Amino acid sequence: MLRSNLCTPADHHLSRRQWFGTAAGAAFTVAAPSFAQTVKKKHKQVLFVWLDGGMSQLESWDPKPNTQFGGPFRTIQTSVPGIHVSELCPKSAKVMHHLALVRSLCTQDNSHSAGVERIQRGDPKNRGVTYPFFGGAVSKLLGNGDSGLPPYIWIKPMSGGFIPKDGGFLGPKYGALALGDGKPPENLLRPATMSVAEDLERNDLRNLVDKRYAERRSKENIEATKYVFDMAAQLQKRRDLFEAPFAPKDQERYGTHDLGRHMLLARRMLEAGVTFVKVNSYGWDTHGDNFNGQGSLVPQFDQAFAAMIEDLHERGMLDNVLVIAMSEFGRTPRINGHIGRDHWPEAWSLVTAGTGIQKGVVVGKTNDKGTFVASEEHDIGHMFHTWFKALGIDPKATEYDNEGQPLPIAHDGCKAVKELLL
């Protein structure tokens, strides 16, 4: 019987065995001399909030009230005089003095299928290789610090698993460890029915098998396998990350919805020292009933995001953590017949904050109707340059080494947005 090559949701669950196997089975590429050593002292980190499907810029960061496409909502003042956002973002408005808005995004793709990867890979020039997602790139360039934890953790609804594709040509070692619904990988912890002695005996057997396996495999594959196993072992030592309860007050502040719970776990992961934490929310593709849809979604994001900014600030972590919240594109100014907004990469917005980023600023602007950028346009390549620089990585001087092929870490036709950088 032929087996379909289409995956099923069960394929994305991560077991300990799958985790090791996946990383070992894929090609591994040795990259350039580690840049991580250079920035290790500061241990920069990233929080990357991905609102999958497309947050509406008009119902969040770039409202155009009382205009043809402005929709029903009002604007509100923020903590920064002169900066206004949608009334759906009241909590973010109060922490605007920590944030930077970019209202001049003009990107290249209006489809989800291509747009998600294109944006998260930084849309570099075609070099015949698949670039890593931003999380994979940062993991490579910054390393995993002193935490001993996996450098790239992805907290998302539904299933989890190890996602090697995020590593691109850097190899599976730089993929994402996805925590489905914020839960630890299945079978990660030693079963209660197994004693410590039995577990050690099992590990001895594994080492023996690994040794034989390594005799017939490339060095890179074996390194990847060992690396992933070490990460698993470290994660097993940090059961508290998953089991310690959160304070009721924090749960209330972040929200008890998925995005709130996942952001709260992300805070814990950042506090534990994880280099790159991605938090995903799905369902933002409001082609129908957009204003009730974004009216439902945006306030929940606003609640969790503002609470995170407050907490990072109070803990002094904004000095080292780069924060980004964005989608693959914005939404059309035009309101369709189903009272929805469609995909719009022509003029949209994101929010960023933290290390290396200016506070309380707006970069770029759209025209009066919000249809097109009325200032210098910024593609995702510009943002990658900016974020790398904010992390202390010079994107003009740093290259990947793809088995001897030097490759720029960001689109070499773009440059950093100076107004965003400290």
Distance CA 164, CA 139 (A): 13
- 352, 321 contact by CB (below 8 A): no
The single residue among 60, 70, 269, 383 that binds another protein, judged by CB under 8 A, is 70
The single residue among 161, 168, 184, 340 that binds another protein, judged by CB under 8 A, is 340
The single residue among 166, 285, 302, 328 that binds another protein, judged by CB under 8 A, is 285
Q: Does 19 bind another protein (CB under 8 A)?
A: no
Task: Select the span of 26-34, 126-134, 339-347, 382-390 touching another protein (CB under 8 A).
Answer: 339-347
State the greatest distance between any 2 C-alpha atoms of the chain, in Å, as a whole number.
Answer: 71
Q: Quick one: how far is CA 328 from the chain centroid? A: 12
| Residue among 98 and 331 whose Cβ is closer to another protein | 331
Q: Does 62 bind another protein (CB under 8 A)?
A: no
In the complex, what is the shortest distance from the CB of residue 342 to another protein, in angstroms, rounded to a whole number?
5
- Long-range residue pairs from 314-319, CB within 8 A, at least 24 positions apart, any chain: 315/271, 317/45, 317/270, 317/271, 317/354, 318/98, 318/353, 318/354, 318/355, 319/354, 319/355
CA end-to-end span of the chain: 60
- 171, 26 contact by CB (below 8 A): yes
- Spell out the residues 6+ positions from residue 105 whose beta carbon is closer than 8 angstroms to its own: 330, 345, 347, 348, 349, 350, 364, 373, 377, 378, 379, 380, 383
Distance CA 305, CA 282 (A): 15
Binding mask 342-381 for another protein (x = CB under 8 A): xxxxx----------------------x-xx---------
Q: Does 9 bind another protein (CB under 8 A)?
A: no
The single residue among 28, 58, 71, 172 that binds another protein, judged by CB under 8 A, is 71
Task: Select the span of 38-46, 213-221, 275-283, 388-396 touching another protein (CB under 8 A).
Answer: 275-283
In the complex, what is the shortest distance from the CB of residue 65 to another protein, in angstroms, rounded to a whole number?
7
Query: CA angle, corner 64, sides to 60 and 65, nearest 5?
Result: 100
Residue recorded with tokens 């990660």: 188
| Residue among 143 and 157 whose Cβ is closer to another protein | 157
The single residue among 111, 130, 218, 405 that binds another protein, judged by CB under 8 A, is 111
| Residue among 153 and 263 whose Cβ is closer to another protein | 263
Task: Select the span of 10-18, 167-175, 337-345, 392-400 touching another protein (CB under 8 A).
Answer: 337-345
Distance CA 147, CA 182 (A): 19
In the complex, what is the shortest distance from the CB of residue 356 to another protein, in angstroms, rounded to a whole number?
31
The single residue among 202, 239, 315, 334 that binds another protein, judged by CB under 8 A, is 334
Other CB atoms within a 10 A radius of the CB of residue 242 amount to: 16
Distance CA 382, CA 370 (A): 21
Q: Does 87 bind another protein (CB under 8 A)?
A: yes
Task: Select the span of 17-25, 283-291, 311-319, 374-382 touching another protein (CB under 8 A).
Answer: 283-291
Strands (E), 133-210: 152-156, 161-163, 176-180
Binding site for another protein (CB under 8 A): 53, 65-74, 87, 110-111, 157, 257-259, 281-289, 292-293, 295-297, 300, 332-340, 342-346, 369, 371-372
